[in-house]
Amino acid sequence: MNENKTKEDRRIAALRIFFLILAAVLIIIGLLNKEYITVLNKAVRICLECIGIG
């Protein structure tokens, strides 16, 4: 039973590392494509609409 738990722990750790690397790669791709500008523009528009200016 301990051996099964160890295998499962290793699998979960590997999945965590995989998703961490995947997230970092996607963030870098977004930064290189300057997607943060689009996100910022949308956030500003939403805020201005909430205040009633836009």
> For residue range 2-31, what is the model confidence (pLDDT) as tens digits?
777 899 999 999 999 999 999 999 999 999
Domain range for 13: 2-51
Q: What is the pLDDT of residue 1?
A: 60
Distance CA 6, CA 22 (A): 24
Q: What is the pLDDT of residue 22?
A: 98
Domain count for the chain: 1
Helix (H) or strand (E) segment spanning residue 10: helix 2-32
Span 32-47, average pLDDT: 92
